Each structure stands twice: as structure tokens, then as C-alpha cells.
Amino acid sequence: MTRTSTFPEAAETAVDATRVAVSTVIFTLRRRAGSETATVAIPLVRRTRDPHEGLWALPGGWLDVTEGLDAAAARTLGETTGLAPSYLEQLYAFGDVDRSPTRVISIVYWALIRPDEIPDENVENVQWFDAAALPQLAFDHNAIVDYALWRLRNKVGYSRIAHGLLADEFTLAELREVYEAILGKRLDPANFRRQVENSGTLIPTDRFRTGSHRPARLYRYNQGVELADRGPLGIHH
């Protein structure tokens, strides 16, 4: 599969009007080869034209006049990386005058995707990076990723978004691993179990994950509980 970077700031035709772009910071969890712990990873797209040709940038594209912002984020993410997120939320609108040679307002989203939803095939010009060790990115994208990571870590504390990174059924150890990767610290298994059990968001199943030592019970999410606390009218805050 061949895809060319269509990233907003790449357009060569300079116009004097302000243009609106949409980009997405999409997170997943990667298990490192030899390591015990999982790490947060994001896909980047290599720029194939100026400005910043050759640098890595967030997947994105121009906003179409006929689509909403959320739809534009999902579409441009799909076109550049082939990914369809399980969770998508607006992050921030970046609009400093000097963030790009031409005036570009970027509405940036952040998203989660389950590891099993990532297609095996390699997409050209797309590469996954460890979020903790990014190269120099195009435009202000390093700062944007930092901000998205901050929001992710914040939100994991007061919502159940962590579940956007897991399959339908999972063990408590797997859920805990998600939290540990995002927060960057180990959590007490005993206390973690109680917290999450008392939150009412988990439904125990009759199935167990076997294969190593004592089998662990599989849990599902309680669909009646919102993934994240939206504000009034369903805006993803």
C-alpha cells in the first residue's frame, strides 16, 4: 500500500487566507521486545514535501468544507495511516502565527487504538515511535505530542479511557499494565484490583486467561458507564 503524506502545511500553493487543518495524536500500547513493561507508541508520517520535508509529522490533512471537525480527524487519520481509532477526542486548536510558513490553524485530536486493530501491513511513510523518545518533528508537533501525553495521563486518572486500548475481554493484570504504561510507574496489584472493582465499570465473566501460573479472570466493560465524562451534549472534553 502506498500513501503520500497529505499533511496540511505541505501544500505548496501559498494563499493569503487562513487555512484549517486537522491532525491527530493517536496512541497505542506496544510491548517492547525484551522488556517487562509496555510503552506508549504513536504513528508519524514522513513529510514528502516542503516545509520540513523529510521530518516526521502528525498524521492529518486539510479540513473539507463539507465535513465536521470530528469527521475530518477520522478521515485524514485513515487516509494517511489506515487507522480507525476506538476513541477520538478533540485536544486543542493551535494557531500561533509563526507555527508554519503560511498561516495554518490546526485543530488537533487525540485518539486511542487497540493493538489488535493495527493492520499488520506496513504503510509507506508511516512509522511507529516510542512516545517517550521522539525525534525532532515538523512544525510545533513535538509540543503538541507533549500536550496530548499530558492530557492522556490526566484523563486516565478520572475516567476509564484506558479501556480504549484493550480488547473486549481482558484480565486485571492487562488493565493494570495499561495504567502503568501511561502513568510510567508500577501500581499495587491488590489495591488496583479493589479500586477498579469498586468503580462499577467492570463486569466479571466466567472465562479465564490460562497459560501461565494461576488463571486470571477475564472482565468486560460495563457498557452502561460512559467511557469518559463528556460535558453537556456529548462533547468530548
Point out which residues bind DNA (CB under 7 A): 171-173, 188-191, 193-195, 198, 208, 210-217
**Residue 33 contact, options a copy of itself, DNA, none, Cβ 5-8 Å cut-off depending on partner type:** none
Q: Which of 4, 32, 54, 68 binds a copy of itself (CB under 8 A)?
A: 68
Size of the site for a copy of itself (CB under 8 A): 32
For residues 174 and 196, the answer to whether their CB atoms sit within 8 Å is: no
Q: How far is the CB of 98 from a copy of itself (least distance, A)?
A: 9
**Residue 17 contact, options DNA, a copy of itself, none, Cβ 5-8 Å cut-off depending on partner type:** a copy of itself
Amino acid 123 reads V
Of the two residues 152 and 218, which places its CB atom closer to a copy of itself in the complex? 152
Cα(138)–Cα(100) distance, integer angstroms: 9
158: buried, middle or exposed (CB in 10 Å: 19+, 13-18, 0-12)?
A: exposed
Stretch that binds a copy of itself, among 26-34, 100-108, 115-123, 127-135 (CB under 8 A): 100-108
**CA-based nearest residue to 161, from 219, 212, 236:** 236
Q: How far is the CB of 210 from a copy of itself (least distance, A)?
A: 42
For residues 65 and 207, the answer to whether their CB atoms sit within 8 Å is: no
Cα(6)–Cα(60) distance, integer angstroms: 7
Please give the helix or strand (H or E) that residue 75 lies within, else none: helix 69-81
Residues in 38-67 that interact with a copy of itself by CB under 8 A:
63, 65-67
Of the two residues 186 and 230, which places its CB atom closer to DNA in the complex? 186
**Residue 171 contact, options a copy of itself, DNA, none, Cβ 5-8 Å cut-off depending on partner type:** DNA
* Bridge partner list, 109: 24, 90
Cα(24)–Cα(107) distance, integer angstroms: 9
Residues in 132-151 that interact with a copy of itself by CB under 8 A:
143, 146-147, 150-151
Cα(80)–Cα(162) distance, integer angstroms: 25
Q: What is the contact surface with a copy of itself in residues (CB under 8 A)?
A: 16-18, 20, 63, 65-69, 72, 90, 92-97, 103, 105, 107, 143, 146-147, 150-151, 154, 231-233, 235, 237
